[in-house]
Structure 1
């Protein structure tokens, strides 16, 4: 239902400057709310018919009109027009919705220092650590991430990496009203292609890295790369673009950027440079732009994340020394290399969101770097259903390369048969590794088995779901938290 506390706009004022193909009906109608869900249509609302990957919103135009929508935005006009409804025909409903939503909520992004973080891995950690950092620096700060959305300490559950354009602008407006000056958000490739961030004014953009992911949606790696680059191409001249110079496609992101082009690196010349002094179980020791500091985060991949956060903060005008001082005490995002240690046998469980080959390889390499020679690494890993299948055998092979024992299991099978997914993963297990691999479709049993296999001091990595508190099977989400299950199994098995 529309929020009647929102100031009213005329439809004509929301369409100013937008490329409209045709209008049937008056544009003087008052607008109190926007929706892409026909069930929420009502008098005073504008319904946007979006063409999705599986559902075409145009088939619900009639429902929206029946419920009294004052206007509908479509790419294709219906055969019959209701004289009580205004029909706005455009070339792209999603792009129009994003620009109308920004105008409806008073362009909140223009009054905020909005920084977007994009890349395959590291988005959540960078956005979350930036949020924590600027909170510690004394600012009121918003966060838009895979794990959760936050206004300072108030948590708002997240359903997508990047919300739809209506909800996104509503959240930004709410953050502005709450006194936020800075907002840090993950920008997914889907969000760019689907125009969820179109019409937003970004102060800066950060690129972490790009690897094999989301090809089920984008079709080709080139399309995936173009989606990421599209975010940087759209940055205004006043913005900064900060990219990972050590990723071979990092410099590509800076091509055609209108604003400031900045880089960070652990290996070569860059605007912001760091040198890894120590990577240990207690954290990282880095020399960063000539200053040494200890950090609580672990792993080379987190050295890059910290460097990106440091660079973004300095580009936002913060004092480098103060930034390093605060950063040294911060922790990562939930479900990102999150340790769980058993009280009795000191078995260490690590929960990590690694669901791509690159992320899994990074996590296993990090564990290898900090483990003692006597410690076994036992990895529990699966792959999501209805997603890119090409990475499944690769993930299984990487798990075998980096682990003493491997338990292949379900992740979120969604509408796929878990056994089909596991068969594809098993194809990546080399003959010499067959003896170290178990396949257990039930994720709880898989984690239990891995814990049972662990001896005193061993390390159990549970990869793939991280912060998620559910498992999705045949469209139904049931409670499932890897961290909680690990703790339960430690207790059950007397670990």
Structure 2
């Protein structure tokens, strides 16, 4: 990691920069929040969705910033400060942050995973697999960031470019050889991954999500595709060709394209032989393997992980041996069993496609007359189009449905539930209940279930909070489920 580099050394890959002032000033840190500026800081004026950083250039200057990265010069340009004027501050910041930290992504094998569903599972499985194979590894995911055994709390699917390069520099300094990260559509659109060097990219699938941010499905697809467009010739691009947009993702990539599939010929071909609550038996490239994780969606995840590991140079047999021991990441089809044989499943499914995948899996795993009870909600200040769809899917696959609050954020929970309720078919009104309080909803589902029933609690998975009006209150679906099971056991 460079220690207080000269500004000019950070601008090598920034195209079209106009420098006003001296480029030989020393930069002590890169700051996005003007309140955190210290003497010697480079302040980046970003245009955010809520706030425009250009409004705070004067504040940053008064606090001692030696340089300002901006798209427009302020009305009053100070002679004691260097201004770097660029077309896009976020894109330039990506390159500057990478240079400031000594291009850490070039010191590790960095693999990015993108898609609507499966990102966390694939990245986490890869992290677990490579550690099991004896490599020091890092993980950047929605659930958590991790360097070997050390867990670093995660706030976004992908951190900003400065925080991301700082984390990668830590990983490189601690001799990690491989790093696996989720790449969200936001991170591509907002240039959080600009300036990073990837050894490979994986595409899982794409369905409607994040339209609150991208506005149109085409924009969402373009953002995902942008990740593959930017991959270098030395990288691999591994895509799920059972998703009809898999080939679209790699139309313009310079990377080596490889494929995985359950349905057609591919570089990495899989077939499910059997799937039960105990595990899944698969054929992968003509080798039969038993896995502890279950469900068709996980069959795809395992194929992606297997393919990426082989493309990174690992031996097929060693990969499959270690993969057979892996467990699902927290909050991803995580199973719990009560003393009287009720199965509770906690899953992060918060898109229509993810919810359908989980419920289809549960349907295939049913042995007889077990009832399926689904507790589900939708997040506030997010894509509202999916709310009625989520309710309709829950009704289609479940014997009983309880619609409840998720993370309402700054919306009224009942408004969200009213929108969900519009998706409930008239024939399913009787089996659908609305309970705003999530604790009460899970309690009702658990206490009314009969031995053998399956309860799915969807939408929050690993999260241990509820976001209400900007405040995160402690709430953990798993804890409430355990409370229900204890009550059923009379404890």
Query: TM-score, with normalisation over the residues of structure 2?
Result: 0.98
The corresponding residue for 1:53 is 49
CA distance in 1, matches of 2:429, 2:261: 39
CA distance in 2, matches of 1:387, 1:420: 13
Note if 1:380 corresponds to 2:380: no
Note if 1:453 corresponds to 2:448: yes
Moved more, 61-70 or 158-167: 61-70
CA distance in 1, matches of 2:448, 2:56: 53
| Counterpart pick for 1:439 among 434, 442, 450 | 434
The corresponding residue for 1:250 is 246
The answer on whether the counterparts of 1:133 and 1:327 sit within 8 Å (CA) in structure 2 is yes
The answer on whether the counterparts of 2:37 and 2:43 sit within 8 Å (CA) in structure 1 is yes
Note if 1:407 corresponds to 2:406: no
1:467 partner SS: coil
The corresponding residue for 1:356 is 351
CA distance in 2, matches of 1:147, 1:403: 28
Mark the runs of 5 or more structure 2 residues left unpaired by the alignment: none
CA distance in 2, matches of 1:163, 1:204: 19
Please report how far the alpha carbon of residue 351 of structure 1 lies from its aligned counterpart in structure 2 after TM superposition.
0.3
The answer on whether the counterparts of 2:122 and 2:302 sit within 8 Å (CA) in structure 1 is yes
Note if 1:80 corresponds to 2:91: no
The corresponding residue for 1:315 is 311
The answer on whether the counterparts of 1:20 and 1:88 sit within 8 Å (CA) in structure 2 is no
Note if 1:486 corresponds to 2:484: no
CA distance in 2, matches of 1:202, 1:158: 21
The answer on whether the counterparts of 2:331 and 2:461 sit within 8 Å (CA) in structure 1 is yes
Please report how far the alpha carbon of residue 76 of structure 1 lies from its aligned counterpart in structure 2 after TM superposition.
1.1
CA distance in 1, matches of 2:308, 2:52: 39
1:116 partner SS: strand
CA distance in 2, matches of 1:62, 1:382: 44
| Counterpart pick for 2:67 among 58, 71, 75 | 71
CA distance in 1, matches of 2:229, 2:457: 37
Note if 1:331 corresponds to 2:333: no
The corresponding residue for 2:114 is 118
2:430 partner SS: helix
The corresponding residue for 2:157 is 161
Please report how far the alpha carbon of residue 64 of structure 1 lies from its aligned counterpart in structure 2 after TM superposition.
1.1
2:427 partner SS: helix
The answer on whether the counterparts of 2:13 and 2:95 sit within 8 Å (CA) in structure 1 is no
The corresponding residue for 1:170 is 166
The answer on whether the counterparts of 2:2 and 2:102 sit within 8 Å (CA) in structure 1 is no
Please report how far the alpha carbon of residue 207 of structure 1 lies from its aligned counterpart in structure 2 after TM superposition.
0.3
CA distance in 2, matches of 1:16, 1:395: 48
Please report how far the alpha carbon of residue 58 of structure 1 lies from its aligned counterpart in structure 2 after TM superposition.
1.1
Note if 1:285 corresponds to 2:281: yes
Pair 177,21 (structure 1): closer, same or farther in 2 beyond 3 Å: closer
The corresponding residue for 1:239 is 235
| Counterpart pick for 2:361 among 359, 366, 372 | 366
CA distance in 2, matches of 1:448, 1:374: 22
Q: Report the aligned-residue RMSD.
A: 1.0
Aligned residues: 490
The corresponding residue for 2:417 is 422
2:120 partner SS: helix
Which consecutive aligned stretches of 4+ in structure 1 deviate over 6 angstroms post-superposition?
A: none
Please report how far the alpha carbon of residue 95 of structure 1 lies from its aligned counterpart in structure 2 after TM superposition.
0.5
The corresponding residue for 1:179 is 175
Note if 1:35 corresponds to 2:18: no
Mark the runs of 5 or more structure 1 residues left unpaired by the alignment: none
Query: TM-score, with normalisation over the residues of structure 1?
Result: 0.98
Pair 260,6 (structure 1): closer, same or farther in 2 beyond 3 Å: closer
For 1:169-196, what per-residue CA distance to the aligned partner results, in whole angstroms no more than 9, with x for missing partners?
0111100000100000000000000001
CA distance in 1, matches of 2:200, 2:235: 5
Note if 1:23 corresponds to 2:19: yes
2:260 partner SS: strand
